[in-house]
A and B are shown apart, each in its own frame.
Chain A
Amino acid sequence: MSLRNRVAVLVTVLIVAVAGAGAYVWNVRRDQARTVAAAPPVPPGADLATVRAEPHLVFRSTALGAGYGKVAVVPLTAPDGPRTLTPASCERVYATAADAICLSAERGLVTTYQARLLDPSWAPVRDLPLTGIPSRARLSRDGTLAATTTFVFGDSYANPGQFSTRTVVTRVDGEVVGDIEKFTLTVDGRVVTSVDKNLWGVTFLDGDRFYATAASGARTWLVEGSLSARAVTALHDDVECPSLSPDRTRVAFKKHGDLPAGRWRLAVYDLRTGAETLLAETRSIDDQVEWLDDRTVVYGLPRETAGTASSDVWRVSADGTGRPQLLIHDAWSPAVVRGEEGS
């Protein structure tokens, strides 16, 4: 081929590539604009203070439109009804009557992440230490302790696919209690010191004790820990992202079992009897579930449709019976605020 022909072919490839990719992106952009325009306007819910005064659900609204990514609240009595948007934008949110914790991403050349503590009016109070991709956030019931889990990536040609979590517990006055990864982990009476030890997914019992996931090798455990003793002890096998029931008797979690990698099943572990119950939700769930009440758990689930970045919040009975039901459309990261408990 002559130089002239080759230049001609390259120019053609260039034009096709630029035009093709440009048209694709333009098309997506137009579709997104159209969907936003066509989306039924999110009917504004009642006044924020009114909703906050009664038992309510706090979640990240993923309804397309101006409110996408904003934290919204709905009364427990009408979860899929009109939602009230708050001014806060979060990737993950958790709230109590006293405060809220908000993990957010600031997209840039390198995406950075913030963890902010918000007061009841959703105004930022202070930043909490955070590194890496936010994954889980929890507050103790009285709202005085905050736990955040993030993923710190080691990414290098020679590094064996390592990942590293950081789970930090902070008092809301800003005092860092510690990275619970550094707490002593005891499994079957033996202290685990291996390099791949990771702890994440904290759920608080009271001002000192908590439950969480510990992992080492291919195994995970439900651990009970104490902030003052700086130690955690394994209670039960194959438990990730535990969540303590309001009556403090059971822990809902995701169980890997013999499922393919990256898939989990929801289950409940009874702390009194040691019995484990698989829930009726058979789809794979990757979320730290939340308890709606002592009989029901709620969790976020990405929508199956390809190419959508939306998700819904579902509910299922905590005793293994019944069927999952859609609780809130276009929602993610639910938190249930029942009132002034625990304070």
Chain B
Amino acid sequence: MYVTIRDRPADGIGPTAGKVSATVLLLGTVSLLTDVSSEMVASVLPLYLTAAVGLSPVAYGFLDGVYQGVSAFLRIAGGYAGDRGGQPKWVAVVGYGASAISRIAMLAATGFAAITAVVTADRLGKGLRTAPRDALIAEASDPAMLGRAFGVHRALDTIGAALGPLVAFALLWSVPGSYDSIFVVSFAFAVVGVAVLVLFVPNLRTTAPSARTGLRRVLREVGGRRLRRPLIAAGLLGLLTVGDGFLYLALQERDDVAAVYFPLLYVGTNIAYLALAVPMGRLADRFGRARVLVAGHGALLACYLLGALPSGGPGLTLAVLLLLGVFYAATDGVLPALVSRLVPAETRGSGIAAAQTVVVLARFASSLTFGVLWAVRGPAVSLLLFAAFLVVAIGVAAWMLRGAEAAR
């Protein structure tokens, strides 16, 4: 018996009909708990490494760069593994479990190599679990409300990300300097998250128990006609999506308020994202996911233009944060919502993974390019150049994605 009943509203029409499935809420809860856990550690990691372990931030920067490629690879592997066995839940459990174990391993890890290994294990867990989890969300949701379902999940996820640093702060206030306490409490949050996942999230099968989705089938679907255009469009847009760290750096170069409150900029974007994830999801369900996805990049375009202005101010900085929130709300959950409708249920995890990997890799390449451009031309010119290309890319993507959903 499952606590979750896949609620499919009788008519399935209209954004207000029916509710988001309990499975989505449960997965959101799992993500919330896991994000409290991971953001607790992430928020103190720079301080822990530099203050308690004695690594210099140079080494920390290296640490942060370690996992990029491997994580992208594992994302695909996770999506495929979920499809192949037809049991995405258990792949997700492995991913969440790996992250949970990495918390408690921080207690024992003191050297540079050990901490690198532990941090990498955490990122790998994240890479592994994302696609199968999103496949579960898609499987559990009414196709007409996918945008909203992903919006609800991302909002819960972001609440966790906002709570994590708060919990870490309270702990460090109560037991000063005890990073071990942070790791232990973080582990506790992660374990409860895994328990909710294991005990309550239904093992929704995406294939018949006997059937195994082969690699060839997955390749055919992912490379197939229906997914090809969205993947190329997402990749094209990703190539012009500058990491938000660069935008924050651009803001703080010309605005003293942004410089002093640099760490708060992430919080600002998160709050905007949190508030807008569900409305954007609903908007996507109503007016088309591809449309909202492309329009979201308009908000990013506005960020570039505002960031390139010669002088700033608190109002402008706030506007950029809000627009970044709009951008993430219109893309992060909407992309899997779009993709999961374009592939059959049996290859959904792989399809979502492929789209997310394309975006991650394209954004990675974009950040590298932008970094070089920044060095040669400075932030303003670089942002304007990227803005110009983004205008073109938005046009091309809109053209490529026209009727993407009607193709079903």
Residues of chain A at the chain B interface (Cβ within 8 Å): 1-3, 6, 9-10, 13-14, 17-18, 20-21, 24-25, 28-29, 32, 68, 91, 107-112, 129-133, 135, 151-165, 193-197, 215, 240, 260-263, 284, 286, 302, 306-307, 309
A109 and B169: CB pair below 8 A? yes
- Residues on A with C-beta less than 8 A from B196 are 10
B195 and A21: CB pair below 8 A? no
B46, B65, B166: the one within 8 Å of A160 (CB): B65
Q: Is the interface of A mostly helix, strand, loop or mixed?
A: loop
A309 and B52: CB pair below 8 A? yes
A262 and B46: CB pair below 8 A? no
Q: Is the interface of B mostly helix, strand, loop or mixed?
A: helix
- Residues on A with C-beta less than 8 A from B53 are 302
CB distance from B162 to the nearest CB of A (A): 9
Interface hit among B87-95, B147-155, B217-225, B368-376: B368-376
What 0/1 readout, one digit per residue, does chain B (369-393) give for beta carbons within 8 Å of chain A?
0011011100000000000000000
Bound complex: CA A10 to CA B197 (Å): 10
A154 and B200: CB pair below 8 A? no
A132-B262, A262-B56, A262-B112 known; A157 and B363 CB under 8 Å? yes
B54 and A302: CB pair below 8 A? yes
A163 and B199: CB pair below 8 A? no
A110-B264, A129-B259 known; A157 and B175 CB under 8 Å? no
CB contacts under 8 Å to A, within B232-247, are 241, 243-246
- Residues on B with C-beta less than 8 A from A197 are 375
A13, A108, A130, A135: the one within 8 Å of B195 (CB): A13
Bound complex: CA A157 to CA B68 (Å): 9
Bound complex: CA A100 to CA B185 (Å): 39
B273 within 8 A of A: no
B46 and A17: CB pair below 8 A? no
Closest to A108 in B: B169
CB distance from A35 to the nearest CB of B (A): 11
Number of A-B contacts (CB under 8 A): 183
Closest to A155 in B: B245
Closest to B63 in A: A161
B110, B169, B174, B374: the one within 8 Å of A25 (CB): B174
What interface size band does chain B fall in? 35 or more
Bound complex: CA A14 to CA B194 (Å): 11
B192, B267, B360, B374: the one within 8 Å of A157 (CB): B360
Q: A21-B184, A163-B58, A193-B375 are in contact. List 19 more A-B contacts (CB 8 A).
A: A10-B192, A13-B192, A21-B187, A28-B175, A109-B165, A110-B261, A111-B47, A112-B260, A131-B262, A133-B46, A158-B366, A159-B367, A161-B61, A162-B64, A215-B58, A262-B55, A286-B55, A302-B52, A309-B177
B54 and A286: CB pair below 8 A? yes
B117 within 8 A of A: no
B175 and A110: CB pair below 8 A? no
Can you list the 6 inter-chain pairs with the closest CB atoms, starting with the nearest?
A: A161-B65, A154-B245, A195-B375, A161-B64, A309-B177, A163-B61
B52 and A133: CB pair below 8 A? no
B364 and A160: CB pair below 8 A? yes
A161 and B52: CB pair below 8 A? no
A260 and B188: CB pair below 8 A? no
CB contacts under 8 Å to A, within B281-308, are none
B252 within 8 A of A: yes
- Residues on B with C-beta less than 8 A from A32 are 175-176, 178
A14, A130, A158, A306: the one within 8 Å of B110 (CB): A306
CB distance from B241 to the nearest CB of A (A): 7
B112 and A260: CB pair below 8 A? yes
B243 and A110: CB pair below 8 A? no
B61 and A133: CB pair below 8 A? no
B73 within 8 A of A: no
